[in-house]
Amino acid sequence: MTDIAVPLSALAACVSETAADIAASNLIAPIVGHVGDGNFHAIVAVDPDDGDERQRVEAFLQRLVARAHAVDGTATGEHGIGQGKKAYMAAEHGPAIDAMRAIKGALDPLGILNPGKIF
């Protein structure tokens, strides 16, 4: 859930800040990407049984998305919002969320298409 995308003019700084954040967070997370479109991933290795590490990863992911938003980037490059990033939709799309809900309601009045996944 780390595929952010930023304007190319902000890419180098964003990758550098992310690498520093990974080190400061004491995480293992190589950075990879197809950066020609400003998209990169931090592949975070996490022990799901280590509660402290999981908290550090979650805090890192929140900062990663905030870093992308701060430079007019997006919380997702190509993998979509999905359940893992739906918490960031309001920050990214603002009042457009209401329009998205209205469209979903119009196309799915019975609420049977992926109920509860995003809306």
Rounded Cα gap, residues 1 and 117, in angstroms: 16
What is the per-residue pLDDT for 55? 96
Give the angle subtended at the CA of 78 by the CAs of 64 and 1, to the nearest 5°. 40
Average pLDDT across the chain, whole number: 93
What is the per-residue pLDDT for 59? 96
What confidence tens digit (pLDDT) does each residue in 18-30 have?
999 999 999 999 9
> In which region does residue 7 sit, left (phi positive, over 0), alpha (psi from -120 to 50) or beta (all else)?
beta
Beta-strand (E) ranges in the chain?
Answer: 4-5, 31-34, 39-42
Extract the tokens encoding 117: 């996944």
Name the residue ranges covered by the structural domains of the chain. Answer: 4-107
Over range 60-77, report the average pLDDT: 94
What is the per-residue pLDDT for 1? 72
For domain 4-107, the CATH class is alpha beta
pLDDT tier at 79, thresholds 50, 70, 90: confident
What contacts 83, CB < 8 A, 6 or more positions away?
Answer: 117, 118
Q: What is the pTM of this model?
A: 0.86
